[in-house]
Amino acid sequence: MRQGIVLAVAGFTFLAGCGNWGNKPYTPPADAQAKIPYHIELDTKPAKPSAGGVTIPGIVFTGNPKILERRAALVVRFDASGTKNDQPSKDLLITSPFDMSGSAGSLPANAMDLASMKLAKLFADRCMSGKVKINVVLVRSSIKPDATDAEINAKRLSDWLATVVEFKNPHPKKC
């Protein structure tokens, strides 16, 4: 009998708590939402030309000292629409992780050179030449090399930065 009363009271309590509370979805408070820790800009110094045919300009960063990362990777998305070998699903490059130190500075020159070389190979494979629009973003170093857009957005450390680069195809006869 005692168990029946306890069960009945528990059931009524459960049902009483299931009212309509305005049907508003839960949203976390503004301070609890993740903030982007870095701000990136193009460096004002001219970039050293790359032997590969394209040079990504230097990138400087400033970061929130409370939420800095030690390592990051760079994602470069480029516009290859209208080219001979356009592959929209593969119009991005995710670099190898590199070390970042401090709350302000430049991305390492060797990381930018490596990204420029890989980007030049992708441009040459697609028979591109001339001015190409690119967008770059810093992401966490734990990103997969074949990450989807959702994974890139989930691991973003900065906002996207748009620029235009000039590509001079060193092997134009292949196209």
**pLDDT tens readout for residues 124-135:** 888 888 899 999
Q: What is the CATH number of the domain that holds 81?
A: 2.60.40
Tell me, yes or no, whether 73 lies in a domain: yes
Residue pLDDT, tens place only, 82-116: 666 656 557 899 999 999 988 999 999 999 999 99
Q: Domain limits at 77?
A: 34-174
User: Can you name the residues that pair with 134 across neighbouring β-strands?
Assistant: 78, 163
Beta carbons of 133 and 79 less than 8 angstroms apart: yes
Instruction: Give the pLDDT band of residue 139 (cuts 50, 70, 90).
Output: very high
What's the pLDDT at 88?
57
Structural domain contains residue 103:
yes
Q: How far, in Å, CA of 56 to CA of 161, rounded?
A: 12
Residue 102 falls inside a structural domain: yes
Each residue's pLDDT tens digit, 18-56: 555 554 554 544 443 457 899 999 988 877 777 778 889
Query: Considering the domain boundaries, does residue 9 fall inside one?
Result: no
Average pLDDT over residues 154-173: 87
Residue 14 lies in a domain: no
157, part of any domain: yes
Has residue 16 been placed in a domain? Answer: no
The two tokens of residue 67 are: 């939420």
State the pTM of this model.
Answer: 0.74
Q: Is residue 23 part of a domain?
A: no
Number of separate domains in the chain: 1
